[in-house]
Chain A
């Protein structure tokens, strides 16, 4: 179906475009920007006046506990591609599991699903998973999710093997020994509340180890969920050195700190933990200058998983429907322009993934998000399509509401 999205402000960070104009979609692709291609007849015209027309968002981490609800949540949040970490039950360590996930997502027909295969069997950090088989089944990269590889030799071998086939590996840098007993940043708040701490060294030691192995193996590594200023400094130096490393930051870490734990709010428990104000600022600067992509790290949890003492509550928050409004909130607070902020959730993740999407160039796949940047709404459990209602922002006003989401030129959501 030919669609014209008319009079919106088209922000396409990947192509440096920011202009009020129409977007023309035909046969699942962007057929024209500003000017209709010859002979274009719109079967449907969408008025996007006052709205922003952006590439569909690419979320670098979303857990899909109940896949139908979560993929509906994705497109309601303007997210057209979701990277799924392998720490599902069972862990995604066999090609059939990847097959099944991708097949199921296609059946549902909402957002695209890009699975990460387990780097090791059962995420145990010991035996390698069948990386080539998983890749063939559609895994975009390999990961341990939040589970550290304790055995450094196993990590070295895994990176060597992945490098053999030029497979990228995604690692959350967290030293097992320094993080296994901790539940909060080893700072003032943890000291006051008597919560076992996770020091920043848990992150920096893991990053230093991984970077050394990247130097030795040449493996392309994406570091997930940076949490500290010192971690940012290490990755910055590695990029300057020319190492093939990229990184991302969870949106909550750009907006919240250890102080948000308040009186033991389980919704402020994250992995890695929310750290100090100075860390939050350094992460924000890293995202602002383009070092890191931003993801939601969507972790839907049932009410029972959070109605527990802080240290027993499941870490993480719902995020697919909040990635856009929270990124807008961050951009406002950090003084980042709208195109630069949108780049962090569109073109930057596409580049990390090596995808041809994430932009609106003529001929590209028409994954599009149309949103009203000024619409406000209150975050309530009922306002979310996701099964996960767990958010530290419950009760807060959000800015930015998605009005339409298209995947490959097909309207998959209308708000």
Chain B
């Protein structure tokens, strides 16, 4: 099976998924991100690494937040950023995904940041670029369907490393709608790749993917049990539409069982950190006292996210 995100030398040319990334590549990204943290603190927040390059933000699905962080990261690398909200332009006219890519390549794009509602769409783009011989054009997955959100996974790893240093002694719990979460998949792959000995998934059976045990994840249905003695707790956003079908009865019942309250948090290690990819639903998956409490590292995650995205873009465009 060909992994299109690495070149023949094993270097990262696209970031499509954490799946298949060697631990060294992940560490390289985190180290590079650490070196960029200082840039964001400067008066002139810019480095010239992508000067003259064009970054196209291709968002086939709406996301102001992620797009903004990529935009900031691109600008700090001195790239030209072009935002395309595809929902409202070409696909409405019947243009296919790959037609769009061909057109933008003709406009001398260097890097595509892609968000798409279909799992695997960035793979299709990367394979197409390889087929047409455009190895100078790179793809960064900014979230595809339920599949992956690798930059979020990496910024979560950056956050964990920042607060906990060593991955090999940690107990990490991921709580909530893992079935529909690309963040959870990327986190699970990153955590297991980096040697976290115990990754737990906590949620009702309707929100857990099948065969999680095969991914080295222990499943807990009881949150009190699952959260006990954890060092890191990653809360996931619960989309409102999950309540429309038969997955969950109500937000209230969900919060009673799987919402992170101060009482439940007290069962974790006293120095446990609480993470959330945002945007949060207060009172649905997380209690405000926890979200705003001393153990929450949700805002630092956002700051780290810029540095991690700078690292990813500078590495793929440099290889």
> What residues make up the interface of A, taking CB atoms closer than 8 Å to B?
186-188, 190-197, 262-264, 266, 304, 307-312
Contact = CB atoms under 8 A, between A and B. Distances in A.
B124 A307 contact: yes
B121 interface: yes
B264 interface: no
B215 interface: yes
B211 A264 contact: no
Interface residues of B, number: 29
A194 B119 contact: yes
Contact of B119 (A262, A308, A311): A311
A310 B128 CA distance: 14
Given A195-B119, A309-B120, 18 more contacts: A190-B209, A191-B211, A191-B215, A192-B19, A192-B215, A193-B147, A195-B145, A197-B210, A263-B2, A263-B120, A307-B124, A308-B97, A309-B121, A309-B124, A310-B119, A310-B120, A311-B118, A311-B120
A375 B278 CA distance: 59
A263 B96 contact: no
Contacts of B97: 308-309
B118 A312 contact: yes
B200 to A, nearest CB: 16
Contacts of A308: 96-97, 124
Nearest to B1: A262
Contacts of B185: 192, 194
A188 B210 CA distance: 7
A191 B123 contact: no
Contacts, number: 73
Contacts of B214: 188, 191
A307 B124 CA distance: 8
B276 interface: no
Contact of A191 (B124, B128, B212): B212
The 4 nearest A-B residue pairs measured at CB: A264-B120, A194-B146, A194-B147, A309-B118
Contacts of A190: 209-210
A187 B211 contact: yes
B207 to A, nearest CB: 13
Given A263-B120, A263-B123, A309-B124, A191 B96 contact: no
A194 B18 CA distance: 13
Nearest to B127: A263
A309 B116 contact: yes
Contacts of B128: 307
Contacts of A191: 209-212, 214-215
Contacts of A264: 119-120, 123-124
Nearest to A261: B120
7 contacts: A194-B119, A194-B147, A194-B148, A304-B96, A307-B128, A310-B120, A311-B120
Contacts of A193: 119-120, 147
A28 B209 CA distance: 58
B3 A263 contact: yes
A222 to B, nearest CB: 31
Interface string B106-148: 0000000000101111011000100000000000000011111
A309 B100 CA distance: 14
B105 to A, nearest CB: 15
Contact of A187 (B147, B148, B210, B212): B210
Contact of A188 (B119, B146, B211): B211
B7 to A, nearest CB: 15
Contacts of B218: none
Most buried by B among A193, A195, A308, A311: A193
Contacts of A304: 96
Contacts of B3: 263
B125 to A, nearest CB: 9
A88 B236 CA distance: 44
Nearest to B116: A309
B210 A194 contact: no
B237 interface: no
A195 B120 CA distance: 9
Most buried by A among B120, B128, B209: B120
Contacts of A186: 210
A309 B147 CA distance: 12
A264 B98 CA distance: 16
A186 B212 CA distance: 12
Contacts of B209: 190-191
A194 B211 CA distance: 12
A178 to B, nearest CB: 12
A312 B124 CA distance: 12
A310 B118 contact: yes
Nearest to A199: B210
B18 to A, nearest CB: 11
Contacts of B171: none
Given A188-B214, A263-B3, A308-B97, A194 B182 contact: yes
B4 interface: yes
A263 B19 CA distance: 10
A193 B209 CA distance: 11
A306 to B, nearest CB: 10
Given A263-B3, A264-B120, A264-B124, A307 B210 contact: no
A312 B98 CA distance: 13
B149 to A, nearest CB: 10
A188 B2 CA distance: 19
Contacts of A195: 119-120, 145-147
A136 B94 CA distance: 42
A339 to B, nearest CB: 36
Interface in B128-183: 128, 144-148, 182
A308 to B, nearest CB: 7
A10 B284 CA distance: 72
A314 to B, nearest CB: 13
A264 B17 CA distance: 12
Nearest to B178: A191
B87 to A, nearest CB: 15
Contacts of A192: 19, 185, 215
B123 A194 contact: no
Nearest to B146: A194
